[in-house]
Structure 1
Amino acid sequence: MNPETGFVTQVGMEYEEAFEVADDLGFDYVEVMMDGANERTRIDPESVRSRADDCDVGLAVHLPFSLDIGSPFEHVREGAVRELQAAIETAREFGATKGVVHASSSAWKPAWDAEEIGSNVVESVNALDEFARERDVELCVENIPDGWFSVHDFDGLFAETDASMTLDTGHARMDGLDSGDIAAFVERHGDRISHFHLNDTRRAKDEHLPFGAGTLDFRAIFDALPDDWEGTLSLEVFTLDYAYIETSKAYLDELL
């Protein structure tokens, strides 16, 4: 296994400083959260690319969170896809090679059929995946807990799309998988999992602790990957203190 490692920027992190920290700590890339201050109309792609080049770090992006690609309302769904395509285009301009998108919907559950919403998600993922591939960006679809499209639904996504997966370990835990279950999922689908959000947790909550501070058995999860796996591992730690990122990196390096 020969993965690249990085971390996801959080709200309040300036990307310029994040790139410097990534360089200092020996990360391969930074996953820029394209929401809030880093929304596509608020950042200059040339400045992002230049700063990343100066710090010798690669780039991935987390595409905007709350765009409803599974909405039962046609104009909402199509607008979400168009906005995500515009974000992918911006990400390509500053050199990102992967884009994470949520497989989710905010549709009102009492009123709508799960099969219909799931079909909408699949249709949107296919459109976004085609758009991203044409721009040499790999779309990586993330499992979202307690929603219309959890980790338990990804067999259908794998069957009906060619998109890669971002496996968020904490989200999988929230949907009832323990470390052994996550490892078994990885063993079955390691060829489709291109990217991880290493979200550590002590229980079935979205805690995003420093890596190693929770109870997930990441050694077992990593051991389930194919020997020749060359994907990417993003630490997703809810902190503005880079000391926790440094501690997480040290533990991740030890496991790898």
Structure 2
Amino acid sequence: MEKIAQGYGGSTFSFMWQDTALAALRKMQNLDLNNFDVLVVPGHLWPDELSAAERSGLAGTLRNEGIRIESLNLPALDLNLVSRVEEFRRYSVDLYIRTMQLASDLGAGAAVVVPGRVSSLFPPPRKDTELLLLDSLEQLLRVAERLDQKIFVELHPQTPIPTTDAMLAFLDRLAHDRILIAYDVSNAEFVGEDQPDAIRRSGNRIGQFHLSDGTRSQWRHDRIGLGTVRFDEILDAMKETGFSGTSILEIISSSALEDLSASANALKRSVID
């Protein structure tokens, strides 16, 4: 299998039910991927399953093998930072805090945070939801400052701020250099966003890109080339804004290694063309 030109990171999303995080990272490192976004789930990587000694040992292994984790990422399905059930919101905040501590212990500098979930059928009033989100993120920000971490707030279609316009308007209320956007291009495609324009307007407020393909009719994270995301224009916009962070290949596939390699090759062709 062809190796990937250096410069891209990878997500362990496709590996989280079958491999430990370390095993998945080693597989992707063999493709020359690095600076990873690691999913946080039991059996793959989970705060309560790692003692202090085990965390130290894993951190040492990562250093020795040259594997760099940029961010940890809790799946959105199990948590809700805007839940109207206060006990559940508190649990969600606490789990993010424990994940941020794990990130710090493993030498990672950030956590990806999905900004809550709301029903598309009958959501609560937006102003009430945004107040809950503001409170949740302020709690995480205090921890991020203590641990020297960043928070990448993900653009996600099931949240109360699913578009760049909504995201930027909300983040203006919580302006801080530790809070940046994780811009997911297939999520943006699904909500009908003009991604190159959104990237230019966001500028240096984007801290991480998530790259995969999808369409405006199906929410997917496919191999690049299988959907309608305009990667050539997106890469141009990223270059114009001077983005220097990590671009994560977040491909969800049963043949993840093959599709990661094919996606990176497609991106290289976009740059050359």
Instruction: Report the TM-score range of the alignment, normalised by the length of the smaller protein.
Output: 0.7 to 0.9
Aligned with 1:211 (options 224, 228, 253): 224
Task: Give the total of aligned pairs.
Answer: 251
CA distance in 1, matches of 2:96, 2:207: 20
Query: Please, what is the CA RMSD of the aligned residues?
Result: 2.3
Q: Give runs of ≥4 in structure 1 deviating > 3 Å.
A: 106-111, 253-256
SS at 1:153 equivalent: helix
CA distance in 1, matches of 2:37, 2:11: 5
Amino acid at match of 1:234: I
What's 1:22 paired with? Answer: 28
Amino acid at match of 2:63: D
TM (norm. structure 1) is 0.88
Alignment partner of 1:200 is 2:213 = yes
Verify the 8 A CA contact 1:168 1:197 in the aligned structure 2: yes
Verify the 8 A CA contact 2:203 2:241 in the aligned structure 1: no
Q: Which deviates the most, 4-13 or 216-225?
A: 4-13
Aligned with 1:31 (options 26, 34, 37): 37
What's 1:243 paired with? Answer: 258
Aligned with 2:186 (options 152, 161, 170): 170
Verify the 8 A CA contact 1:7 1:30 in the aligned structure 2: yes
CA deviation after TM superposition for structure 1 residue 9, in Å: 0.5
What's 2:49 paired with? Answer: 42
Structure 1 residues 146 and 49 mapped into 2: Cα distance closer, same or farther (>3 Å)?
same
Amino acid at match of 2:198: F
CA deviation after TM superposition for structure 1 residue 98, in Å: 2.0
Amino acid at match of 1:49: A
CA distance in 2, matches of 1:35, 1:64: 8
Aligned with 2:155 (options 119, 122, 143): 143
CA distance in 1, matches of 2:215, 2:123: 34
What's 2:81 paired with? Answer: 69
What's 2:133 paired with? Answer: 121
CA deviation after TM superposition for structure 1 residue 76, in Å: 2.3
Please give the residue correspondences for 1:76-115 in structure 2 after superposition, counting only pairs within 5 Å.
76-106=88-118, 110=122, 112-115=124-127
Q: Which deviates the most, 79-88 or 48-57?
A: 48-57
CA deviation after TM superposition for structure 1 residue 53, in Å: 1.9
Amino acid at match of 1:176: G
Aligned-residue identity in percent: 20
Structure 1 residues 118 and 80 mapped into 2: Cα distance closer, same or farther (>3 Å)?
same
Q: Which deviates the most, 184-193 or 147-156?
A: 147-156
CA distance in 1, matches of 2:241, 2:158: 32
Verify the 8 A CA contact 1:23 1:55 in the aligned structure 2: no
Structure 1 unpaired stretches of 5+: none
Amino acid at match of 2:245: G
Structure 1 residues 188 and 227 mapped into 2: Cα distance closer, same or farther (>3 Å)?
closer
CA deviation after TM superposition for structure 1 residue 117, in Å: 0.5
CA deviation after TM superposition for structure 1 residue 64, in Å: 4.2
Verify the 8 A CA contact 1:22 1:30 in the aligned structure 2: no
SS at 2:223 equivalent: coil
CA distance in 2, matches of 1:108, 1:168: 20
CA deviation after TM superposition for structure 1 residue 164, in Å: 0.3
TM (norm. structure 2) is 0.83
What's 2:11 paired with? Answer: 8
Verify the 8 A CA contact 1:48 1:94 in the aligned structure 2: yes
Verify the 8 A CA contact 1:70 1:120 in the aligned structure 2: yes
CA deviation after TM superposition for structure 1 residue 125, in Å: 1.6
